[in-house]
Each structure stands twice: as C-alpha cells, then as structure tokens.
Amino acid sequence: MNRRRSAAIVVGASALVAGVVAMSGPAIGAHTTAVRAVAYVRDDAGLPTFNPDVNPNSNCATPDYDDIQPLSAPGTTANNVHVDACLFSSAAPAGATVSDVDTFATYEIFGVGTISGCPDPDGAGPKTAVRHDHNGDGTFEHCHQSGYQSTGPGALEYHARINNTTAPGQTRVLFCADANQDGCLDESVRSQVAIGWVPR
C-alpha cells in the first residue's frame, strides 16, 4: 500500500487503528505539500485538562487514537478532549514527532459534541483559525486553520478541543490537509480519532 493511500484510510470508530505511519524527530522546515496526517489525543499531563484515559506518550509518533470521557460543557477545562495533529511531507525524516508542513488544515467532527477550542495558530499574526456551525444546531463542526501553531508549547502542531454536554455517544474527529477549507471528506491526507462520551 502506498503512503498516500495509507494516509487516506478512515478506520472504524469502534476499533480505531492507525491509518498512517506515525513518525518522530525534529521538523525540517515549512513544506507545503503533505502526504501524511496523524491526529492523536493528548493527555495534558500536569494541566487542569489532564486526561488519565490517554496513553502518556501519545504524540505524532505514538498516537492514541481513542478516548473515553465524561460529558463536559463547552469551554470548561474538566473533561474536554485535546486533539493534536501533524502533517508530514515526503521529506520528513523517519521518526518525526512534529509537523514539517505548515499549511491549511481542518478539524471536522461527526456525531455528538462540539469543537470548543480552535486556537489561532500565531495569536495576532497573519495566520487564522475559524470555527463553523454548518448545520445550524449551535455546535461547531469545523475548525479551519491556516497553519500549525508557530511558537510556544505545542509549536509545529495543529490543535483543537472537543466537548460534549448533550448526551452519551461518540464523536469522530477527522483532521486533514485542506487547501480549499471545505472539510475533510474530499481530502486524501487525513487521520481520525474517536471519543466515547459517558455519563458523569
């Protein structure tokens, strides 16, 4: 199976398996053509958002693709789910842990919940982040970002946070390289995680 095809695999939410070959090591520059995507759930160790259900070494090299969380209100720190991601070019070294592609990307969710956090990648700089409520139900299904986070903790990665306060169920989070910013279903370079929500 070629690397581009492996990045396009969307796996069953009940038994998520890696659809890409994760890599670790330093970024090698701001390439613009991604051939692989890796999304994962971060454990947020040492923070108010600490998530004990996530593997402590979850990152773009050793991703944890699923999570179980109690219901949580949007904007709260307790029980929100931090989904990070990387985009890799064909020039990325074996074992890279952060993105070497700085380009337009999208998080898109299906099922219950909302995208509660869609951070601006560089604060007041030229990069942008926009959330969209496409079905008019008051939740945000898309987070469009014009690049990865530029500085500080989490630099060279893409970030989003997911909450669900409505009812138990499952959220499927797709992440993709998305040059036309219209969502992930028509994109081949993508990855996904699944979140199962349970009662408090």
Question: What is the bridge-based pairing of β-strands 66-70 and 190-198?
Answer: parallel
User: If you classify domain 1-200 with CATH, what class do you get?
Assistant: mainly beta
Structure tokens of 48?
Answer: 């108010």
Stated pTM of the model: 0.83
Please report, in tens digits, the pLDDT of each residue of the chain (200 residues total). 333 333 332 333 333 323 322 333 344 455 679 999 999 999 988 887 788 889 999 999 999 999 998 888 777 777 789 999 999 999 998 889 999 999 999 999 999 999 999 999 998 889 999 999 988 888 899 999 999 999 998 999 999 999 998 889 999 999 999 999 999 999 999 999 999 999 98
For residue 67, CA distances in Å to 13, 115, 123, 149, 198 come to: 11, 16, 29, 23, 11
CA distance 32 to 103: 6
The pLDDT value recorded for residue 50 is 83
Q: What are the residues facing 106 on neighbouring strands?
A: 144, 176
Question: What is the bridge-based pairing of β-strands 169-177 and 190-198?
Answer: antiparallel
Spans of all domains in the chain: 1-200
